[in-house]
Amino acid sequence: MSNIATTTSGSLPRTQALIEANAARALADDGFSLQSTTELDELTARAVSDVVEKQRAAGITLVGDGEFGKAMSNPVDYGAWWSYSFQRVSGLSLTEVNAFNEAPVRSEPGAVRLTSFLDRRDRQLFPAVYAEAVEVGRNATAFPTTTGPLAYRGQDAVASDIRNLKSALADGEQGFLTAIAPGSASRVRNEHYATDEEHLFAWADALREEYRAIVDAGLILQLDDPSLAENWDQINPAPTVAEYQAFTRLRVEALNHAIAGLPKEQVRLHLCWGSWHGPHTTDIELQDILPVILQANVGSISFEAANARHEHEFGVWADAAVPDDLVLVPGVVGHATNVVEHPELVAQRIRRFTGIVGADRVIASTDCGLGGRIHPDLAWAKLAALGEGARRA
């Protein structure tokens, strides 16, 4: 048995039955909160048990619930990791203008602001590609706006996630649950708080309860924060690297505020450049953001290291001031291609990082979530390649 631990970055393919059951859920009066039923709860529990067993069979040693408690009502859905939070935080409502249809915003020196999602710079460089070849699927719910004070209301939902995963774990087996980080959550439109910073820290305060519940249950908490890297593409025109670092540092501070007092060895940060299948030519380089990311008070960092835009950056970790107790969780199989990685390539990718920090501080993983992004058969073939590659490494 290999000494290289393995995991995933969270999302795994939902069963057709689970997708259909979520698609059939009724909406509350607010127009975006999904109602649950006893039948759906029981179906989800069974699906989590099955997906945990499938992960074990593929060679995954640190398993998750596949994010099955986060509604996905369509086979292709890039937003379930985010939209679930709308079900668990009050102070949100549907408005005519939201994060996806608002007008473009222009930044200026000293005033860095996110533009609309449809005004991203990569989209502007490749309009025909995004119009014809980049499938993003359909989200389970509409995206709301912050229109009142934010507060956590997801106690029952996170308790269900915890119960389903812990019931599926074997004695002594560790598991993890994902939760959105404040920086990513706060990208919904704000019509209540006086400043973006107040909005950001309001999300941190609201989500803190979810984070503590997961950690108190003895599970690993993975904080999903692709915004730390992908915000660069959503600032138009591009800021200087120094301006972006300052912009990102505030989001890391909000993250640290939200997890203050939690044992860092139970907290994992997931960093990525967004999992949509676009060109990604305007991704910021890892070397420009890693010094800021390393200020996060977490025990491990999950990051993309397999896709064609970022695989070459493994050497950045060798040059960085990586804390002696930080565990690296590199993606060694990817969501960005239908090609299933050869196990020997997976082993080579793993060895790049064990050569930097040692085998005891590397957990081999996926670049990003596989559920809702590639065909389920490909996802499980990639996880099998991940397990075999870890054994070879």
pLDDT tens track for 68-103: 999 999 999 989 999 999 999 999 999 999 888 889
Tell me the pLDDT of the chain averaged across its residues: 95
The residue type of 113 is: R
Rounded mean pLDDT, 10-28:
95
User: Phi and psi dihedrals of 55, rounded to 5?
Assistant: -65, -45
Rounded mean pLDDT, 152-158:
98
Rounded mean pLDDT, 127-146:
90
Sorted by sequence, the CB contacts under 8 Å of residue 276 that are 6+ apart come out as 78, 134, 136
Instruction: Give me the torsion for CA of 374, 379, 381, 387, rounded to 10°.
Output: 140
Which uninterrupted H or E stretch holds 236?
Answer: none
| pTM recorded for the entire structure | 0.96
> Which pLDDT belongs to residue 34?
94
d(CA 249, CA 215): 24
> Which pLDDT belongs to residue 134?
86
d(CA 233, CA 110): 17
Q: What pLDDT digit, counting tens, does each position of 263-293 carry?
A: 999 999 999 999 899 999 999 999 999 999 9
The residue type of 222 is: Q
d(CA 13, CA 43): 15
> Which pLDDT belongs to residue 233?
97
Share above pLDDT 90 across residues of the chain, in percent, rounded to a whole number: 93
Share above pLDDT 70 across residues of the chain, in percent, rounded to a whole number: 99
3-state SS string for 271-325: ECCCCCCCCCCCCCCHHHHHHHHCCCCCCEEEECCCCCCCHHHHHHHHHCCCCCC
pLDDT over 60 at 385, yes or no? yes
- Where in the chain does DSSP place strands (E)? 5-6, 63-64, 89-93, 145-152, 175-180, 189-190, 220-224, 267-271, 300-303, 327-333, 363-366
Tell me if 175 sits within 8 A of 52, measured CB to CB.
yes
pLDDT band at 2 (very low <50, low <70, confident <90, very high): low
Cross-sheet strand order for the sheet of 145-152: 89-93, 145-152, 189-190
pLDDT band at 1 (very low <50, low <70, confident <90, very high): very low
